[in-house]
Chain A
């Protein structure tokens, strides 16, 4: 059986359809904007994360440059201190026993992939023109698994590199500047002076023009040769984990495990992470502000209703309705307005997200990076309900405190 409180609340709402709808529409706009904006932020954050993960692993393990100590206490006992100029003291940047390290890392829980890399600074030469840049030596299939290189390829194939020991995949910017095409030869000079003739077997174009103008991919062995080193020479181990947000915690663990510097992608991209934070906070504030306005709408209408209904409240209390009954009646009214508004808001936000996701932006973004976000939607519903409850509770409590005698005396 429907309780009499519910019946009174529903009758009140139905006898003021327009007011009810206006208050509900306030919530509609609030919820729709909340979900829409936060989905937008989520979508573009995800897009940018993915862009970052095309060039940055979740965690990079490498050997940090060590500085020589500026002071060295004299060991001969005659109280003299030797002063030397501090400078980088390690000569090689390679990791010791990389295969063992890799094996240990792969044993860790939550590691999805880990691979060996050689970073090498070098110059690209074609005839008289020269360009400086850096190459990443790797097993191209492992690299592809991490960075999805395939999706950026505009010419050539990753597989060709596998079968071409002196093959190189260059950025589109390098190809333009040195006017290189597929299967052209390019002479590479490494930072330690090793010269190597390599064959272009692929051209890629990422979303970053600087990368396109400087970066190339080659086989691990080729990069090791450029550094004048053997097959044990590895400068980096790249690690991907299940949840990239946990990278900084995981980096500490890997540092303890390997003894080398382990840098998470957030510290490697601080500016980007800061931008993401600003975006999240900014849109968060705006959407909350809109929700608050919606809450005020409900508060206002409930306040007005209660002021008009003092007589009704008085007689209800006289005939046996308790304070909590009165609270229930008016909370229910605002809750129904809130639910109604939220439902319409969900429809609106779905429509606008759907429309925007079909807007073509171009470049390598393609369509607008927005999609249905279950978490944001759920949050939106909860926040919307909370705001309505709160907005309804304050006037409802006021109604519960109405003293019937004061009303009857008039």
Chain B
């Protein structure tokens, strides 16, 4: 079967200048495919988060090129990048970053309302559907602050999925969760990538989590030292 590439980098490098000039990423070249559950691991400080931010299009100060879905991302305007993120990328972080004044349902709907492709009724239906998939439909109308950590993280995943993005990027999505919730989140990612064909790129510290993913890229000192780590 031919694999469809959804994200590709070529020779990405990044420097930090504060407090001293420091090369955080060095010649990062790799590809991620459609429906792939990809994990990034490496020691603390090896540049995993830094790489993820470059891939996320939020960081624009790097060298090399980034392509998402065949389109060159490097050099686009900030507004265009925002639109690309809205449509093509979902985010899950260690912290949920749900808006505290809004209900869970609204939190999930906001990126879709921003996209403006569907009516708010359709969006609401879609949001309920993904909440069902994630098992948080009962929490829909509660404010985000009133949920447990595991539930919050699942609402955040539902938000990341609402626009049916090509890629979902995660930075230690299970970092705050106990082993039971970690297992739940992992199963969800598996399902998303296999059933919906979305690509997951997740930074993790958890070797078991990485082991069970489709492929693991290992970083050290800003370089890729292993494209398909075998445990």
Which residues of chain A have a CB within 8 Å of any CB of chain B?
1, 4, 7-8, 11-12, 14-15, 311-312, 314-325, 404-405, 408-409
Q: How far, in Å, is A340 (CB) from chain B's closest CB?
A: 19
Q: Does B147 contact A (CB under 8 A)?
A: no
A317 partner residues in chain B, CB cutoff 8 A: 58, 82
B101 in contact with A12 (CB, 8 Å): yes
Is chain A's interface secondary structure helix, strand, loop, or mixed overall? helix
A318 partner residues in chain B, CB cutoff 8 A: 56, 58, 85, 91, 97
* Cross-interface CB contact of B79 among A1, A322, A409, cutoff 8 Å: A322
Q: How far, in Å, is B217 (CB) from chain A's closest CB?
A: 20
Q: A11-B102, A408-B93 given as contacts; is B83 within 8 A of A320 (CB)? A: yes
B113 in contact with A320 (CB, 8 Å): no
Q: How far, in Å, is B139 (CB) from chain A's closest CB?
A: 18
A409 partner residues in chain B, CB cutoff 8 A: 49
Separation of A8 and B101 alpha carbons in the complex (Å): 9
Q: Does B86 contact A (CB under 8 A)?
A: yes
Number of A-B contacts (CB under 8 A): 70
Most B CB within 10 A of own CB, among A14, A320, A408: A320
20 A–B contacts, CB within 8 A, in A order: A11-B102, A311-B95, A312-B97, A312-B100, A314-B97, A315-B99, A317-B82, A318-B56, A318-B91, A318-B97, A319-B85, A319-B86, A320-B87, A321-B86, A322-B78, A322-B82, A322-B83, A324-B79, A408-B53, A408-B93
Nearest A residue to B111 via CB reads: A319
Nearest A residue to B90 via CB reads: A319
Separation of A11 and B110 alpha carbons in the complex (Å): 12
Q: How far, in Å, is A330 (CB) from chain B's closest CB?
A: 14
Tell me which residues from 146 to 197 in chain B have a Cβ below 8 Å from any Cβ of chain A: 159, 171
Q: How far, in Å, is B115 (CB) from chain A's closest CB?
A: 7
A320 in contact with B91 (CB, 8 Å): no
Separation of A11 and B106 alpha carbons in the complex (Å): 11
Separation of A323 and B60 alpha carbons in the complex (Å): 15
Separation of A318 and B102 alpha carbons in the complex (Å): 17
Nearest A residue to B119 via CB reads: A1
Q: Does B132 contact A (CB under 8 A)?
A: no
Separation of A1 and B122 alpha carbons in the complex (Å): 14
Separation of A298 and B96 alpha carbons in the complex (Å): 30
Q: A4-B110, A4-B113 given as contacts; is B78 within 8 A of A15 (CB)? A: no
Q: How far, in Å, is A233 (CB) from chain B's closest CB?
A: 82
A405 partner residues in chain B, CB cutoff 8 A: 53, 58-59
Q: How far, in Å, is B183 (CB) from chain A's closest CB?
A: 25
Q: Does B142 contact A (CB under 8 A)?
A: no
Nearest B residue to A408 via CB reads: B93
B99 in contact with A320 (CB, 8 Å): no
